[in-house]
A and B are shown apart, each in its own frame.
Chain A
């Protein structure tokens, strides 16, 4: 007996191929969105987007036909609004909504075949992750490389391999963790769907709602403020102390120091000056390297300051209490310029 996804799954996971098939089978035409009876769905999609833009997960769940259409209208709205920040935020919150449903389904679903099917449709077919769910404990098992490639995008220490249950090349996760692992990919999937949508004519009702939302939300996401550094982080202080004592710094520490100084706005000349105390100082080499890091030589890529995580693993971290929850030394001791 072959198991198929039911209507309740299609309602929760409207991005699956089966949901697209449903729309194709019904020969639905975009022009139908201008019919008065569709207003309910359009309003529902607007409500969902506004929730997401406020940072809330929209957890209402309706019949699958309504959910699939609401999802479709949401994508059309996001596309028509045309704001990058709106696309990103809504994609992320849509992913978090899915995460909530999927996590519950994987832990409470009694049919192990249904569980396997969900895992196959979402983890395997969409993201090419081979994952096994134990039918009794609901513990998920995936290969170390599959885990690492996803977990490396997470900043929290708990996602480091060392904090996981690892054996014989597999990582064992509970369902919440396994589903959380694909949040970024789900979000990217939705974001890419919106980006690649080709809409020649947006239905009038959707267009007018999109115009309203654009007006309301444009300008809200300009948040790149200027910062002033009040104190160097301990890793930088330590490196400076060594240089000032006239001792050699390892290459990785020089990289950290130079990228940090460039990132906080020091000129290349000022950065070169810092290294003058090194016993093996060579102006020509230092200048080339600093200019290289600043993106003015060689590959023309401006290098970022290594993350706290990276510095920890290179033994360059000398964390103090204020370093808690930071992911990059650049965040230490800075204050917003008003």
Chain B
């Protein structure tokens, strides 16, 4: 959803800044096989244009500078004819993409920096209900992720990386990690071996990473008459999820008796299944399965500006040291007046901003961030 208040000043300001950015950053080094991709973009009036294709980066940049979109997308899929309607594109494979978002992690501090904006009058409410200002509008929420949020999501990202490398055996050179530009990370896997996976196969991968659907039978516990029996699988229990579960219980391929006692202690087959669910929840990664399973989806283009924040979708070579509010903040610092809808504190480009007044003079990158979030508008009097 587009959160920007649609005023002439806002749109002109953002378009000028975005155009300048695309003119000056016309490289997109992480865009491969451009001629095989479908492109699309969201305009400032929220209309979405899809089924575009470009022969080279030059053509793409011309389009971006001329039309200045709010958000730019490209397909994970490779097509024979990317600009044709969806069933005539001739699908030739798709990168495997994973998305982790802060809002899915249930981080306790999340509500401390979440704002509820009225969809009719734009008023910033303190909680999610009918707008207290106009009494008509419903609220939608936006959040300004804090340091704790980013620490938590980086931990989740590290777990995902481990699954990709160790379990799925994907080589380092095929994995690219990007900060989405707002509140998440995108993992692009362009391993040619994975490219042809259909949607069902991808769904099996996402279930693997989330930890969905592990059966007691996989670790050797089977339903038997009214109880259970132990029969360890011939292919062993010391790899993959089987190993994670086995290690949590302290068992191995020779621990049939110990496993039997463990199942009995958990209250039988059903109780043991609950134990397993608890473990899979702990080790699984919070990814958005729909994103990965879709083989025709368009994704934010690496190197493009995220219209929800004004930050850039940025390659992240070292998760540990990556600082989204600094490393992905690429815009201008010329100053501009904004009208704030609420008091707030933010840190961008390693600068702290404590904004208490209705009218504030801030660097453009701060103004873009707040206008994109729907928390400020560009002042008419500059």
List A residues at the B interface (Cβ < 8 Å).
Answer: 137, 139, 143-145, 148-149, 151-153, 157-158, 160-170, 172-174, 177, 251-252, 279, 298-299, 301, 309-310, 312-314
Contact = CB atoms under 8 A, between A and B. Distances in A.
Interface stretch (B45-53, B190-198, B303-311): B190-198
Contact of B289 (A144, A167, A298, A314): A314
Contacts, number: 122
B235 A172 contact: yes
B21 interface: no
Contacts of A152: 198, 200-201, 203-204
B167 A299 contact: no
A164 B205 CA distance: 12
A27 to B, nearest CB: 42
Given A152-B198, A165-B242, A160 B217 contact: no
Given A144-B194, A158-B218, 17 more contacts: A145-B201, A148-B204, A151-B201, A157-B213, A158-B215, A158-B217, A160-B204, A161-B208, A162-B204, A162-B208, A163-B217, A165-B240, A166-B239, A172-B236, A252-B290, A313-B289, A314-B290
Given A165-B233, A252-B290, A299-B85, A310 B198 contact: no
A165 B236 contact: yes
Contacts of B237: 165
B170 interface: yes
B29 interface: no
B171 to A, nearest CB: 9
Nearest to A299: B87
Contacts of A309: 200, 203, 213
Contacts of A162: 204, 207-208, 211-214, 218, 240-241
A174 B210 contact: no
A163 B166 contact: no
B188 interface: no
Contacts of A153: 200
Nearest to B86: A299
Contacts of A251: 290
Contacts of A143: 169, 193
B378 to A, nearest CB: 28
A42 B341 CA distance: 87
Interface string B310-350: 00000000000000000000000000000000000000000
A161 B169 contact: no
Contacts of B254: none
A172 B242 CA distance: 12
Nearest to A250: B290
Given A145-B196, A162-B214, A301-B87, A167 B290 contact: no
Q: Which 3 A-B pairs have the closest CB atoms?
A: A169-B169, A166-B240, A152-B200
Nearest to A300: B87
Contact of A313 (B170, B198, B206, B242): B206
Contacts of B290: 251-252, 314
A46 B356 CA distance: 89
A306 to B, nearest CB: 10
A193 B218 CA distance: 37
A160 B207 contact: yes
Contacts of A174: 233-235
B234 A167 contact: no
10 contacts: A139-B235, A139-B236, A144-B168, A145-B201, A157-B213, A163-B214, A166-B167, A251-B290, A312-B212, A313-B293
B169 A144 contact: yes
A153 B214 CA distance: 18
Contacts of A310: 203, 293
Contacts of A161: 204-205, 207-208
B51 to A, nearest CB: 12
B111 interface: no
B212 A148 contact: no
Contacts of B215: 157-158, 163
A267 to B, nearest CB: 25
B273 interface: no
B167 A167 contact: yes
A313 B203 contact: yes
Contacts of B196: 145, 149
A137 B234 CA distance: 9
B361 interface: no
Interface string B226-270: 000000011111111110000000000000000000000000000
A144 B203 CA distance: 13
A148 B240 contact: no
A173 B235 contact: yes
A168 to B, nearest CB: 4
B129 to A, nearest CB: 12
Contacts of B167: 166-168
